Amino acid sequence: MAPPRTRRPARPREEVYAAARAAIAEHGLARLTMAGLGQQLGMSAGHLLYYFGSKDQLLLETLRWSETQLGERRTRELARHDLPVLERLARYIDLYLPEGPGDPRWILWIEVWSRSPETADLRQGQLDIETPWQNDLSALITEGRTTGVLTPTGPAADRATQLRALFDGLAVPLAIGLPATTRDRATAQATSAAHALLGVPPK
């Protein structure tokens, strides 16, 4: 009599997210199959679908995992009140922008944005993930205004929304690798625009 087959243990979710992020960044969500990802992880497509329900949900949860990791670092950086407000603003910008063409985190964002109009769950998930970025920047602007380092007009939340829209506009061309886009150039442009919008006195 053949020995009973042992069930292969499920991979930790972090391993699934890491593999999904790499696969989506390399091939895009449209070309990713649950069967292919499952084979890479030694899991069945059915097992992945059981946990995530759909590729869209896998995309959202992978992005949420990726942003949680970065969010912990952002929280630490912005909580360093031993650093000047402008230094913490620079660190915020550094964390926000892509590392370069093909940055996996930003490719996930682009995939989510392209699918959000058709899926309410993705739109809500996108809002949930973006809100901490918005709140942290608003709080930093408020602190800078209180200490006189920043002199923005209007509500801090409005200025944060404008800045994040500008950062997104600089980030996407960099993430997809458009010619003549570099991280140094994007960082310099983001910093210059932030200083102008937030009323930083010229040196």
- Across 7-11, 16-20, 115-119, 196-200, the highest mean pLDDT is recorded for 196-200
Q: For residue 59, how many other CB atoms are within 10 A of its CB?
A: 23
Q: What is the mean pLDDT of the chain?
A: 90
Please choose, from the candidates 50, 54, 61, 53, the residue with its C-alpha nearest in 3D space to the C-alpha of residue 19.
61
Residues 6 or more apart whose Cβ sits within 8 Å of residue 12: none
| CA 60/CA 78 separation, integer angstroms | 26
| Tens-digit pLDDT profile for residues 1-45 | 444 444 444 467 888 898 888 888 888 878 888 888 888 888 888
Number of CB atoms found within 10 A of residue 115's CB: 19
User: In this predicted structure, which of 44-53, 129-138, 189-198 has the lowest mean pLDDT?
Assistant: 44-53
Closest to 16 (Cα-Cα) out of 76, 72, 57: 57
The model's pTM is 0.88
pLDDT score of 8: 45
**Domains of the chain, each with CATH number or no CATH:** 55-197 (1.10.357.10)
Q: How many Cβ atoms sit within 10 Å of the Cβ of residue 111?
A: 23
Q: Locate 88 and state its tokens.
A: 């913490």
Nearest Cα to Cα of residue 94 among 187, 197, 162, 176: 187
